[in-house]
Structure 1
């Protein structure tokens, strides 16, 4: 089943947290937004107010829920558990340079994630959510989530290959838009800041 070619899925990353600022992997830890992150989230409001969303979903993490609320869509949102960030397992709270002191060439995209989720796991979760969204028949959807999950979601949408997400950088409080060009799924816009 295909969505109508006019569909748009807006991926919105939460605003800045202390750990996003420091580069610490933040999957299962519920870190709040910083003051700067709240300012970023409020800056999304005028852009998102110009859209007519028929479905607004947010990660269960407070940083995503608060970003959604400050962006003006909180009252219309529903929590979607599949939008949670990658579970980094034993690497939760650590930076890539720190991890590489023990495991040279470590990458979230290619390395094992003991006690966490693999790239294949995230790709399957993203595809399951895509399938769920297709079933809703909504045409303008806002998803408030996290950097790595959103990057995999965008890659999965466009190519079915979650590894493409490694090449899709995403800033805090950035917006990306997925859709169709004719019958082909595309990334229409990526990493836009208000």
Structure 2
């Protein structure tokens, strides 16, 4: 296995700044998110990508465009974990009625199961590994953390182990055929 996967979380939005769970709601980037996305262009230039994918949500697509990848291919499998009834709600508010809740281990009424998320992210991993080259993905915080877990052969719930900020670059690859994290949240 020689594929490498570069991950970019979209730029800041009103809800990402406020800690509100955002999956289906298609929010634009904040002006600071636009600037952060533009700054990614310098960091990504000079690398040749065999595959460039983006979530269909405007916050990811616009980050891709501003970072210099206007032709990124939209992949529905890269949408954020569906928060169902918790869309737009912060973890603190959710914990008022479910004190132990996390997206990683809790029940999300009306939302996407870990099994469904695993299924679609496994398709992304297979697509990237089939390129046997370097891929670049623009997507969302929980989705990318769960994608990292699947890259490593772990359950999506293990994405809880990695913090991922907006407009950051992370790189997944392999060492002696073992999937590894090469760089994180940089």
Q: What TM-score comes out, normalization by structure 1 length?
A: 0.92
| Whole-angstrom CA distance in 1 between matches of 2:110 and 2:146 | 20
Q: Which segment is superposed worse, 16-25 or 46-55?
A: 46-55
Asked whether the 8 Å contact 2:56–2:78 carries over to 1, the reply is yes
| Whole-angstrom CA distance in 2 between matches of 1:100 and 1:23 | 13
Q: Which segment is superposed worse, 20-29 or 99-108?
A: 99-108
The question of 1:98 aligning with 2:102 is answered no
Instruction: Write the mapping of 1:21-32 to structure 2, written as runs, cut at 5 A.
Output: 21-32=17-28
* Unmatched runs of 5 consecutive residues or more in structure 1: none
1:169 is displaced (CA, Å) by: 0.5
Aligned partner of 1:61 among 54, 57, 62: 57
The structure 1 segments of at least 4 consecutive aligned residues displaced by more than 2 Å after TM superposition are 132-135
Partner deviation per Cα, 1:9-51 (whole Å, 9 max, x = no partner): 0010000000000000000000100000000000100111121
The question of 1:147 aligning with 2:120 is answered no
How many residues align? The count is 186
Aligned to 1:174: 168
* Unmatched runs of 5 consecutive residues or more in structure 2: none
Aligned partner of 2:83 among 71, 82, 88: 88
1:121 is displaced (CA, Å) by: 2.1
Aligned partner of 2:32 among 36, 44, 59: 36
Residue 48 of structure 2: SS of its match in structure 1?
coil
| Whole-angstrom CA distance in 2 between matches of 1:128 and 1:79 | 14
| Whole-angstrom CA distance in 1 between matches of 2:89 and 2:58 | 20
Asked whether the 8 Å contact 1:55–1:138 carries over to 2, the reply is no
1:105 is displaced (CA, Å) by: 1.2
RMSD: 1.1
1:138 is displaced (CA, Å) by: 4.4
| Whole-angstrom CA distance in 2 between matches of 1:16 and 1:88 | 19
| Whole-angstrom CA distance in 1 between matches of 2:158 and 2:105 | 12
| Whole-angstrom CA distance in 1 between matches of 2:129 and 2:136 | 14
1:54 is displaced (CA, Å) by: 1.3
1:158 is displaced (CA, Å) by: 1.1
| Whole-angstrom CA distance in 2 between matches of 1:36 and 1:25 | 19
